[in-house]
Amino acid sequence: MSLSNVGSEQGSPLSGGFVDAVPEAQRAFHALMNALAQPGRCQPLKSLLAPEPLPGLLGTIGCTLLDHQTSVFLDEALQGGGQVGEWLIFQTGTVIADQRKDAGFAFIVDGERMRLADYGPGDQAYPDRSATLCVNVPSFAEGPRLSLEGPGIKGKMIIAPAGLPADFIDQWADNHALFPRGVDLFLTCEGEGVMGLPRSINIVQEG
């Protein structure tokens, strides 16, 4: 019996995930690396079969970056029901964090209610010990227009993701002011891909 047949019914922790882990993880990482190196520019990312309500693109990020050395916080919408936690644990070996501030990663589907300041910004001497927030949003084009400036961007970059908090600009200004501390964001959108917002960039309302 081949492993891919085990628990193939939808919703089992054993189903989904990478089929050919080595090249798929490399391609996904390549997208994430470019997303962070070119903030605001959407990178193609293949969506994985993952249990509801975990968006497939967050599943891809999970299988690419998580393992037993990481911890991930799931927002309320992902905690309630379903087998998201079990799936991530089985697929990656990661630890599910109880507290936002302790987590190295956070998977968020209710982006409107997230607060960047709840997550660990790292240490002034070790700013790499900060959280990476992976937020699935409904659209990359229908939200308020934001203007990005900073490392990785030639001139200016305009984005319009929907599903972020109403005061996202202010929250981001506080996050950016902490530099070199601060959290980094990956925004995913089904059918689009992934976009990176590293703490190093400045975001203002456009127009």
Partner 1 sequence: MSTILDLLDRPAIDDLARYNFAYLDEQTKRMIRRAILKAIAVPGYQVPFGSREMPMPYGWGTGGVQVTASILGADDVLKVIDQGADDTTNAVSIRKFFQHVAGVKTTTSTEEATVIQTRHRIPERALKAGQTIVFQVPIPEPLRFLEPRETETRAMHALEEYGLMHVKLYEDIARHGHIATTYAYPVKVAGRYVMDPSPTPKFDNPKMHMNPALQLYGAGREARIYAIPPYTEVVSLDFEDHPFAVNRFDRPCALCGAENVYLDEVVTDDAGGRMFVCSDTDNCEDRRAEGYVGEQTEAAESGLSGPREARS
Out of 16, 17, 62, 198, point to the residue binding partner 1 (CB under 8 A): 198
For Cα atoms 200, 205, 206, give the angle at the middle one, nearest 5 degrees.
110
Q: Whose Cβ is closer to partner 1: residue 3's or residue 125's?
A: 125
Q: Whose Cβ is closer to partner 1: residue 14's or residue 153's?
A: 153
Q: Whose Cβ is closer to partner 1: residue 89's or residue 153's?
A: 153
**Does the footprint of partner 1 cover residue 202 (CB under 8 A)?**
no
Out of 15, 91, 130, 188, point to the residue binding partner 1 (CB under 8 A): 130
Q: What residues between 55 and 114 interact with partner 1 by CB under 8 A?
A: 64-67, 69-70
**Does the footprint of partner 1 cover residue 199 (CB under 8 A)?**
yes
Out of 141, 151, 158, 177, point to the residue binding partner 1 (CB under 8 A): 151
SS (H, E, C) the chain: CCHHHCCCCCCCCCCCCCCCHHHHHHHHHHHHHHHHHCCCCCECCCCCCCCCCCCHHHHHHHHHHCCCCCEEEECHHHHCCCCHHHHHHHHHCCEECCCHHHCCEEEECCHHHCCHHHCCCCCCCCCCCCCEEEEECCCCCCCCCEEEECCCCCCCEEECCCCCCCCHHHHHHHHHHCCCCCCEEEEEECCCEEEEECCCCEEEECC
Kindly state the number of chain residues that form the binding site for partner 1, as judged by CB under 8 A. 38
Q: How far is the CB of 202 from partner 1 (least distance, A)?
A: 11
Q: What residues between 13 and 52 interact with partner 1 by CB under 8 A?
A: 21-23, 25-27, 29-30, 32-34, 36-38
Write the CA distances from 1 to 5, 9, 142, integer angstroms: 7, 15, 47
Q: How far is the CB of 38 from partner 1 (least distance, A)?
A: 6
Residue 136 has which token pair?
A: 């699935």
Q: Whose Cβ is closer to partner 1: residue 63's or residue 77's?
A: 63
Binding site for partner 1 (CB under 8 A): 21-23, 25-27, 29-30, 32-34, 36-38, 64-67, 69-70, 124-128, 130, 132, 150-154, 179-180, 184, 198-200
